Amino acid sequence: MANLPPPTQNQAYCTVSALEAGHLDLPLRVFLDNAAEGSVLNSPTLAFLIRHSKNNKTFVFDLGIRKDLQENAPPSVREWDKAFFNSQIPQDTAESLLKGGLSPADIDTVCISHCHWDHTGNTKLFPNSQFVVGAGAADLFKPGYPEDPTSGFESDLLPAGRTRFLEFRDLPPLGIFPHALDFYGDGSLYIVDAAGHLPGHVIAIARTSSDGGWILLGGDSAHHWNLITGESQIAVGRPGFVGGCAHLDLSAATQNIERIRAFWKSPRTRVILAHDAPWYKENKDGDAFWPGHIESK
């Protein structure tokens, strides 16, 4: 069980809407220990709009893939995409917001789960937002591109003066998760340390009702649901990532998945991964996408 805090009287909560933000072809042997050779799964790269029930603040979790990736991303990213992922971006996060009647310029906060290129989008399209990332992400830009021409992280990705780097070590737990920031201070939205995949990786956990519903937005904690159910384990010794594993810290990533599994098994919870192909297949073009919203459990 996740041991999540019970709601208070007049509990604030969040309304969560999915946003189209691109697609990737995931070579499953890179991610799953028991995937068949040559198996590929076309998967979404999801972003999410989170709206507070009382203060009307807008919060976007992840930005997906930038539409001009093959023109303006660092060369190493373009090559990586062509070699492994074949990204498709019919609609980016900014366009998804506009399609539902909300301007990217009006987004209060953007939280990036981690700084891989399929989650960072085009940050320049959000000129007024405060950006929030895990503190571990800072070292990825020392130096970034173009100072280091081989880097996959652009030096100006995170806007100076508008970026908050979250230190988690002194923050309290959220149930089974060791460290979490109560973002609004009212128990409606938590940014949770989710180490393992990349330095600074975070997930978001939000209340979706005033009486006990929850959602966990898992970023790249797992690239496939078999890792959450336990039908597969994280692959190691495979090409495509540094060290032959999609997660830089295998032990931390495994512990994070175990916590997410316990959350998923708890009452009135929902888990959606950034590359959640089954969820996308079930909900594509439906009411879960902005301007609609994901129903609370």
- The answer to whether residues 290 and 97 touch, using CB atoms and an 8 Å cutoff, is yes
Distances 258 to 12, 60, 84, 216, 227 between C-alpha atoms, Å: 28, 26, 28, 14, 9
- State how many domains the chain has: 1
pLDDT digits (tens, 9 = 90+) for 42-97: 999 999 999 999 999 999 999 999 999 999 999 999 999 999 999 999 999 999 99
Query: Which domain range does residue 33 map to?
Result: 14-283
156 located within any domain = yes
Q: Is residue 4 part of a domain?
A: no
Residue 2 maps to a domain: no
**Residue 1 included in any domain:** no
**pLDDT over 90 percentage in the chain:** 96
String of DSSP letters for 172-227: PPBTTBS-EEESSSSSSEEEEE-TTSSTT-EEEEEE-STTS-EEEE-TTS-SSHHH
The burial class, CB within 10 Å (0-12 / 13-18 / 19+), for 139 is exposed
pLDDT digits (tens, 9 = 90+) for 236-291: 998 778 788 999 999 999 999 999 999 999 999 999 999 999 999 999 999 999 99
CA distance 232 to 257: 12
- Does 155 fall in a domain? yes
Residue 5 lies in a domain: no
CATH number for 146: 3.60.15.10
The overall average pLDDT reported for the chain is 97
